[in-house]
A = this chain, B = another copy of it.
Amino acid sequence: MGYLLRGLRRPNIICSFLFMLCLLLFCTNMAWAGEHTIASDPTGEHTFALDFRGVDMSESFGWVLLTGFTILFMQVGFIFLGGLLQAKNVLSYMTHCFLATTLGALIYFVAGFALMFGGFEFLGKHLGGGNAFIGWSGFLLLGDSYDVRTIMMFLFQAVIATFIGSIIAGAVAERMKLGAYVISFFFIYTIIYPLYGHWVWGEGWLWNLPFGSGVRDFAGSGVVHAIGGTLAFVGALFLGPRIGKFSKDGTPGFFPGHNVGYMVIGTVLLAFGWLGYDAGSTLAAGDLRASVVAANTFIAGAMGAVTVLYYSYLKTGAADIGEACNGFLAGLVAISAPCAYVAPWAAVTIGLLGAIVYMTNLWFVEEKLKVDDPLGAVSVHGANGLWGLLAIGIFADGSYGGVSGLITGNGGQLLSQFIACIVALAWAGGLGSLMFFILKNTIGIRVSERVESEGLDVNIHGSPCYRLQTGAEAPLGAEIEGAAEDTEGQKNTEILEAAFAKDAKREKIYSEKLGIWITAKPKETEK
């Protein structure tokens, strides 16, 4: 309890407060337990399977759930992308992704889902109230929303929602305060993401625009990537560049990744999950278009990868595999919206152009705007999210859902998609700026210079990600001792000497500060 109180005295008291509020909510709900009248399957006879669309229903459950699992899996891919960061900030980035996967999903469960899909109907189940601008049904999946169909939809949407936080994490990496990152979730997952999502996927006003078929976004180029990428840009802008990123004359430098192989692994993991994500977005197993969706996704990503790899080779003489991975992701982001509406040849073209959009935007953000985006999230997700939205308006061939783009001679769809782009930029850019502005001027969003230069991992998470004693050969104390000295230099040596003097009988001492054991060493051998 003393710990709890001590925690509450800390500056990020807001975070604590909101968290406690959530807990309170759950306790309240416990009182309702006995009143569930809408049992989802009381007798084990699977009533819904018989009631609605017969057999197709149970297939769709398997399809949506399994593809939903692969979407959650994509978070592992995001985590591996941290290989392009410096080793001293890896845990910080991974924790951001981890929080998106856990805290993000919980906030979405409490409120985001209800705001996004209130008033929506799926598989014959109409979820309570909502209008063209906002939904208000399904909070905490209580009452009427305790239904197998609603909860299937919740699962699929919750794992998608977690991406927003991970996209932002790539742009704010290596310098953002953990507390500010956490608090931003309470705005992003209750307002920014769910409302834009409601307008498009919740069949709100954007979905029903009168131009073409209205805004279409099959698997989130706009709802997920454009929104996430725009927020990532705003975050990176408000944070400012990492120390040493730009020289005094504004030339951008380069922080080499500590494990480029992680980037390759993460990218292919993401590609796997992406196939599930896009194909699963049919939300029905009977929609055989899923095969076109999956093939389009795969070859668009592949084309993006090959394009960037080849260009990097032509330009620098080195085949830059790290960049090629971002090219893969750029192609995947670009095809997410149009994947169901276009033919394979168009998918390849979209991937090729997506790679060019990525490279151009990377240059623009870094060289012109002087914004520091460590993992290129703005260019991969933001710019290609917008490009993906527009691509429907150009390449949709009318063979699915009646959506027809420029290549069939119709311009209306492109107008709808263009409006969706403008709205995404204005909404996420505007509210995101407001949010980061407030955070910056209250609790602060950036760590101190000392923390940034020492690394966020030891300072915020109490431990480096990697320990030096790789291989069995290292006597435990010896190696770690070196680490301790490197970390803190002169000053730390003094602390150690004092500690050993005080406790001369033990050969090792545990450093609370460093979280490691340190071996005593006779003073004379040090000199």
Residue A442 interfacial (CB < 8 Å): no
Chain A stretch 280-321: residues in CB contact (< 8 A) with chain B: 285-292, 294-295, 298-299, 301-303, 305-306, 309-311, 313-321
Residue A366 interfacial (CB < 8 Å): no
A164: min CB distance to chain B, Å: 15
Chain B residue numbers with a CB within 8 Å of A352 are: 23, 26
Contact, CB under 8 Å: A510 / B254: yes
Chain B residue numbers with a CB within 8 Å of A299 are: 105-106, 109, 158
Interface residues on A, range: 35 or more
The listed residue with most B CB atoms (<10 A of its CB), out of A4, A89, A105, is: A105
* Contact of A264 (CB < 8 Å), options: B67, B79, B244, B515: B79
Q: How far is the CA of A286 from the CA of B275 in the complex (A)?
A: 23
Main secondary structure of the interface of A (DSSP, over half): helix
A50: min CB distance to chain B, Å: 9
Residue-wise interface mask of A (238-270) relative to B, using a CB-CB cutoff of 8 A (1 in contact, 0 not): 000000100100000111111111001101110
Residue A206 interfacial (CB < 8 Å): no
Chain B residue numbers with a CB within 8 Å of A473 are: 88, 454-455, 458, 464, 482-483, 486-487
Name which of A38-46, A220-228, A377-385, A416-424 contacts chain B.
Answer: A38-46
Please give me the residue from chain B that is nearest to A456 by CB atom.
B472
Name which of A58-66, A194-202, A367-375, A428-436 contacts chain B.
Answer: A58-66
Given A42-B399, A264-B94, the answer on whether A516 and B254 have CB atoms closer than 8 Å is: yes
Name which of A70-78, A126-134, A493-501 contacts chain B.
Answer: A70-78
* Other A-B pairs beyond A69-B279, A79-B261, A98-B324, 4, CB < 8 Å: A68-B294, A154-B295, A261-B465, A458-B473
**Can you name 25 A-B residue pairings with CB atoms under 8 Å?**
A19-B310, A26-B348, A34-B397, A34-B408, A40-B399, A58-B285, A87-B467, A91-B261, A98-B267, A98-B321, A102-B301, A105-B299, A106-B306, A148-B292, A151-B295, A244-B508, A256-B517, A259-B467, A318-B462, A320-B462, A455-B472, A464-B470, A466-B470, A472-B487, A473-B482
